[in-house]
Amino acid sequence: MPPEWSSSPPELLLVVDRTGGRPLRAQVEHGLRDAIRTGRLRVGERLPSSRELARTLGLSRGLVQDCYAQLVAEGYLVTRPGSATRVGAGAAAPPGAAEPPAKAPRPVADFRWGVPDLGAFPVQEWLWATREAARGMATAELDYGDPRGSSVLREVLAGYLRRVRAAAADPEHIVVCNGYAQGLGLVLRVLAARGVRTVAFEDPGSPATIGAAATAAGLRAVPVPVDEQGVDVRALAATGAGAVVVTPAHQWPTGVGLAPERRLALIAWAGENDATIVEDDYDAEFRYDREPVGALQGLAPDRVVSLGTVSKSLAPALRIGWIACPPDLAGPLTEQKHLSDRGTPTLDQLALARLVESGRFDRHLRRMRGTYGARRAALLGALAEHAPGLRVTGLAAGFHAVVHLPAGADERSVVAAARERSVGLYGMSTCRASRATTPARLVLGFGNVGERAIREGVAAVGDLLTGR
């Protein structure tokens, strides 16, 4: 679809040469034809008025009108009374241009993990917060500012993390970043500069994301197994790693919580080996069947770097995250952030701060807990009806579930067959360092899937899940 400009005349770059012998009209016609043929102007796109283009080029309006008339006659342009001149549907396509791809049929349900309910984003509250932030924004805050991020947001985040996550958060030791991926990259680069050579990660976990960040930082990434109590600290000790990335509150993707004794063992490992724990606190806001679990950072603030974002609580598109770090890492992280991008957009930071301190953020989270709780119940009910007997785990928190397929099931075949029925299923194999498909598991996200779609989706693939 071509861009639809405002009521102001759109600008168009054309060049005319008054020193050569070629007529100006021929030059304008050629420039317009060339812009359309090469795709610089797309079918349906609006052109400047003849008066505006004539003013821009320093030509007579009559000359431009004649050019437009000629191109209308050739089918390049179309005009209607009272409407703008636009590129015609019969205009020549760029050489070698491919036909636009046909739209894929809308899926019955897409159980993609890691995505919150995008339709529930609090648009009005965000607009209010942005207006309030812009209204009270000091002129000096329009400059680049502190690469750590807005002092206002860091103060608000510190208070929020202390209140909700039992973190030992200090605004002086928080660095605002553009989401989890950037935060992890900054941390690993700082650790590499300090002599760390190997970073461990949970298996299953996020091998692609952590592996890419480790490679970019010049580190070796090694997997460490996860069991029913969380990451295996004994196996971690055997790797010789100087850092480990963990999801202690709700292990991704198995959903287990790091057992209390494992928490203590992990902290002891970090102290004994002068190592760093990188905590991914990715969906700590959503709990159902168990008491809230505090951040690991609150137990060992000198050893734990905690990464958080609003990607799950609000929306990934905001690209706002934070790093709560030990005091000795705050300076190097700030320097890395400064080198990376000079800082996260300040107005967005101030809007988030206003949203949190006004209480609107907490109200949004309460609404979403109810929404995700209802979808969780719908998923369990649909599986009980259409795929009875399957074990389902990982549902105590967050908005994804792990479905254990029957022995002998082929995970990839189930996923492929479901797609033939317009249902998006996702296997755990992509979360394993080895990409092994056994034991066969599915990781089903229900954050961005409505209750009706959940029921219809499970009904459409129930026989695939059970192997009937």
The residue count of the chain comes to 468
Number of other CB atoms surrounding residue 3 within 10 Å = 9
14-49 pLDDT per residue, tens:
888 888 888 999 999 999 999 999 888 988 888 888
Question: What is the rounded CA–CA span in Å between residue 190 and residue 192?
Answer: 5
Mean pLDDT of 459-463: 97
Q: What is the pLDDT of residue 285?
A: 79
H or E element at residue 87: strand 86-87
Structure tokens at 77: 């342009």
**Is 70 exceeded by the pLDDT of residue 3?**
no
272-292 pLDDT per residue, tens:
999 999 999 987 778 776 677
Structure tokens at 415: 């996923």
CATH 2.40.420.20 fits 1-102, yes or no: no
Mean pLDDT of 256-285: 94
- CA separation, residue 17 to residues 41, 59, 70, 187, 209 (Å): 21, 12, 20, 55, 52
Mean pLDDT of 361-373: 95
Question: Per-residue confidence at 8, pLDDT binned at 50, 70, 90?
Answer: low
- CATH number, span 109-117+363-466: 3.90.1150.10
295-348 pLDDT per residue, tens:
999 999 999 999 999 999 999 999 999 999 999 999 999 999 999 999 999 999
**Is 70 exceeded by the pLDDT of residue 156?**
yes
CATH 3.90.1150.10 domain position(s) in the chain: 109-117+363-466
Return mean pLDDT, the chain: 92
List CB contacts of 195: < 8 A, sequence separation 6 or more.
Answer: 242
- CATH number, span 122-362: 3.40.640.10
CATH 3.40.640.10 domain position(s) in the chain: 122-362
Q: What is the pLDDT of residue 79?
A: 86
Q: Quick one: what percent of the chain has pLDDT higher than 70?
A: 94
β-strand pairing of 441-445 with 400-404: antiparallel
Phi, psi of 277 (to 5 degrees): -100, 125
H or E element at residue 200: strand 198-203
**Is 70 exceeded by the pLDDT of residue 249?**
yes
Q: What is the pLDDT of residue 297?
A: 96
Rama region for 380: left / alpha / beta (φ>0; ψ in -120 to 50; rest): alpha
Q: Give the torsion through C-alpha atoms of 456, 457, 460, 464, to 10 deg.
A: -150
Task: Check if the beta carbon of residue 251 is closer than 8 Å to that of residue 293.
Answer: no
**Is 80 exceeded by the pLDDT of residue 367?**
yes
Mean pLDDT of 377-399: 94
Task: Check if the beta carbon of residue 392 is closer than 8 Å to that of residue 403.
Answer: yes
**Is 90 exceeded by the pLDDT of residue 100?**
no
Top pLDDT among 4 and 55 is at 55
- Which amino acid belongs to residue 318? L
Q: What is the pLDDT of residue 19?
A: 86
Q: Helix axis angle, 346-357 relative to 151-165, nearest 10°?
A: 40
**Is 80 exceeded by the pLDDT of residue 229?**
yes
